[in-house]
Structure 1
Amino acid sequence: MDGHSLSASLQGFERLDMMEDATSGLKAIIAIDQTRLGPALGGCRMWMYASEEAAILDALRLARGMTYKSALAGIPYGGGKAVIIGNPATDKSSRLFRSLGRFIERLNGRYITGMDLGTTPLDMDEILHETRHVTDVTGSLGATGHFTAEMTAYGVYIAIRTSLKQKYGSEQLQQRTVAVQGLGKVGFALCRYLHQSGAQLIVADLDNRLVQLAATQFGAAPVAVDVIHKQPCDVFAPCALGGILNDLTIPELKCQIVAGAANNQLAEPRHDALLKQAAILYAPDYAINAGGIIVTAAELDGSSASYAQSQVERIGDTLASIYGKSAGTAPGTLPPAAAADAITRKLIGL
């Protein structure tokens, strides 16, 4: 990434720290977007990035998403993210996470980390040796069973029902078909909620074991990962990696609603408008996948699991407000993601 590109990407961000520690093998980035509403909150992701540039861009996008997610959910925190460049299956060590913990401690509470893709409560336990600015440690609310994933899925489930009501006038899932892309902890839990409400499921994942499990438990119809978005359905629920809504895939969609747990689903902001032009109702990802950050905020505040769930249930009202702002085709009417951004920027004071 050249200096000009990095400067453009950093616009509006408070800071970006790049760190290397030869002793532990740590190579990581911490991005802090905003701390206007409180300390930057966002998990630590470990991934085999193709390049340092890809890791930086991911950290920046995810940190910005955490700012918006927290503000829209009414949580008094800003947005941040840590990404470690490495293979979570082979490159982890106590020294690596302790080294990251020391870097986080030097930020003097401006950034609070937690679990994310590729990290676990045991990794957070190592960070805790060096700093108290960490969540999801062993025994905490966020590390109890799969509660964080369950609440993220629950929020998306509520959003799907809200979207059905907006589109069809009824939130009922009987006779509705949902195509779920990605069967990780969140995607699989979402399938369970949908199945229990009577939805017909179409599923895809790179792990065929999970696909077969969904077929057995939920009567889901399996399809290949490269065609899941093309399936005729009422709702397409992306629950894997971001960028799935782009110039190639949007014309291929055969759904009426897109509502899923994946972060950064729009490849570019303009794809929000393309979905609206195609008469596809889009539930902005950061508005509906906030269950995890709501659990983390509850943990930091010492609140209970039942309180966290009650806060997740507010996602439906938030989404309904966004749809109200983006309804219609009058000149100047914003598509849903742009409407959510406008609401969020006002909350942040930008």
Structure 2
Amino acid sequence: MTAFWTSADWDEHERVELVHDRASGLTAIIALHSTHLGPGAGGTRFWHYADPAAAMKDALRLSRGMSYKNAMAGLPMGGGKAVVLLDQDRTRTPAMLAAFGDAIEAFGGRYVTAEDVGASEADMVAIAARTAHVCGLPASEGSAGGDPGPFTARGIYLGIKAAVAHRLGRDSVEGVHVAVQGCGSVGGGVARLLAAEGARLTLADIDAARAEALAAELGATAVDASAIMEVPCDVFSPNALGAILDAQSVARLACSIVAGGANNQIATSADGVALAKRGILYAPDYVINAGGIINVSLEYLARQKGVPGDLAEVERMIGGIPDRLLAVWRECEATRLGADRVADRMAQVLIGRG
């Protein structure tokens, strides 16, 4: 593996640790980007990486994104991220989860984890047996916590509505054509919220059967995963894995707006420039997809005080996502810079690196 500190994704991270526990078979990377605003918060991705360098790339990029996401959301949290490298069978054992919990505990509260791709609420419960620095745990009715997916989906839905109002001048998504990439917990939640308001949907997922089932449920159209980015539509909503907006795909987009929950959607800064030059309104991923981390962070902070997380406060903060997007877009109009660059600059100031 190339030295990570020479990588383009290295951003003066405070701490990057490779964890290997021979007894359990655990191999993981924990990347702490910034604790300027508070403990670094960000979920753990359980994934099979054919190339370990890709795991390091994810850890570095995602942890930086969490610093920006938490800062822009107004949370008193820094940014961190972890990836657990699984084998091809996606094997995980109680011993691996215990060893991973011990690794988080060794950070002494500077890193707080939660669910991410491939992780479940049950995984968080297992990890919580070894460390208190975990969130996304089962919550009682009316309290913050639990699966962050529905909260992420809610914020993305509100962000899409804001983008439609800003670019298309429409106060509803009724009749608006949205192409949704990814039909899992987040993408599926976004699609259901849009469908309830009368949006016209085209869906795709790497699991074609899942996309077809959701399309049948919502009266939508399902297409092959390889075709979704070229569907003529008003809004393209990426809700799967990142780095999908590159030179080739940006050139093929047939939409007015890109607004979805996938992390690190733009592959390189040049691709962000290309997106802006095409006149496509972009909702920066870490601004629009902050609903989940808002929920679990308020859960964690409340638990440190021995009280339940305030669900009303979670909903209030998620409701602020459209205004935060509008602030980015207005700055874009004033500076003629792309939304990704503007949002990065705003976040860097907030974490003391501007």
Q: TM-score, normalised by structure 2?
A: 0.93
Matched, 1:258 2:284: no
Q: Deviations over 1:135-168 (max 9, x none)?
A: 1234465664x5x211111111111111111112
SS at match of 1:79: strand
Distance 2:7 2:192 in 1: 44
Worse-matched range after superposition: 229-238 or 332-341: 332-341
Q: Kindly provide the amino acid, as one letter, of the partner of residue 337 in structure 2.
A: L
TM-superposed deviation, 1:250: 0.8
Aligned position for 1:339? 342
Matched-pair contact (CA < 8 Å) for 2:134–2:300: no
Q: Kindly provide the amino acid, as one letter, of the partner of residue 134 in structure 2.
A: V
Matched, 1:237 2:237: yes
Aligned position for 1:178? 178
TM-superposed deviation, 1:244: 1.1
Q: Kindly provide the amino acid, as one letter, of the partner of residue 324 in structure 1.
A: R
Matched, 1:349 2:352: yes
Within 5 A, what are the aligned runs for 1:32-71?
A: 32-71=32-71
Residues 82 and 142 (structure 1 numbering): CA distance in 2 closer, same or farther, change over 3 Å? Answer: farther
List alignment gaps of at least 5 residues for structure 1: none
Within 5 A, what are the aligned runs for 1:271-350?
A: 271-302=271-302, 303-327=309-333, 332-350=335-353
Q: TM-score, normalised by structure 1?
A: 0.94
Report the identity percentage.
39
Within 5 A, what are the aligned runs for 1:77-226?
A: 77-87=77-87, 90-139=90-139, 144=146, 146=147, 148-226=148-226
Matched-pair contact (CA < 8 Å) for 2:245–2:271: yes
SS at match of 1:27: strand
TM-superposed deviation, 1:309: 1.5
Distance 1:88 1:63 in 2: 24
Q: Kindly provide the amino acid, as one letter, of the partner of residue 338 in structure 1.
A: R
Aligned position for 2:305? none
Number of residue pairs matched by the alignment: 345
Aligned position for 1:11? 11
TM-superposed deviation, 1:188: 0.6
Matched-pair contact (CA < 8 Å) for 1:156–1:190: yes
TM-superposed deviation, 1:213: 2.2
Distance 2:296 2:88 in 1: 22
Residues 348 and 4 (structure 1 numbering): CA distance in 2 closer, same or farther, change over 3 Å? Answer: closer
Q: Deviations over 1:198-230 (max 9, x none)?
A: 110001112233222222221111111111010
SS at match of 2:247: coil
TM-superposed deviation, 1:88: 8.6
Q: Deviations over 1:163-190 (max 9, x none)?
A: 1111122232122100000000110110
TM-superposed deviation, 1:5: 5.8
Cα RMSD between the aligned structures? 1.7
Matched-pair contact (CA < 8 Å) for 2:9–2:61: no
Aligned position for 2:29? 29
Distance 1:45 1:14 in 2: 20
Matched-pair contact (CA < 8 Å) for 1:46–1:87: no
SS at match of 1:249: helix
Worse-matched range after superposition: 112-121 or 61-70: 112-121
Distance 2:144 2:268 in 1: 31
Residues 88 and 307 (structure 1 numbering): CA distance in 2 closer, same or farther, change over 3 Å? Answer: farther
